Structure 1
């Protein structure tokens, strides 16, 4: 199990980004959350098995919707908490 904290920069608000991130997370058994930040970025905290978490991050980086345009992705590894039972949007 691994946990990553992401800050997604680009055209990521108002384009269905968080809903698509949740759909991808649900498909890959990733738990955590995604929320819009006031600076226009999306913040994500995600936990999952290493391979699935990498796939999740790759799909986020590609832009999970046709309207999203990810310009940069800040990734920080965090200590696993096992405190999430699903992935939700805030």
Structure 2
């Protein structure tokens, strides 16, 4: 399993972005979490096999929320992300 830390910014807070990210993660079988950051960005910790993670990333880049917009996207592999058996929205 691959573990990645993703940060997105743009119109990603107050538009249902976290909730829709969870729906996409649950549909694809991605584990991890999503949370808002104080700077207005959103951070996602994602755990999945390579193919599933690639598909998840493509959906996130195009904003899973119809009202959202991703202007900036960054992703790094991060083996320090704790294992999880579900995908959580963190507040």
Q: Normalising by structure 2, what TM-score?
A: 0.94
Q: Distance in 2 between matches of 1:80 and 1:49?
A: 16
- In structure 1, the residue matched to 2:21 is 21
- In structure 1, the residue matched to 2:65 is 65
- In structure 2, the residue matched to 1:40 is 40
Structure 2: gaps spanning 5 or more residues: none
| Regions of 4+ moved over 2 Å | none
Q: Structure 1 residues 39, 80: CA separation in 2 closer, same or farther (over 3 Å shift)?
A: closer
Q: Normalising by structure 1, what TM-score?
A: 0.95
Secondary structure of residue in 1 paired with 2:88: strand
RMSD: 1.2
Q: Distance in 2 between matches of 1:80 and 1:38?
A: 22
Q: Aligned-pair distance for 1:18?
A: 0.4
Q: Distance in 2 between matches of 1:47 and 1:65?
A: 21
User: What is the count of residue pairs matched by the alignment?
Assistant: 90
Structure 1: gaps spanning 5 or more residues: none
Secondary structure of residue in 1 paired with 2:5: strand
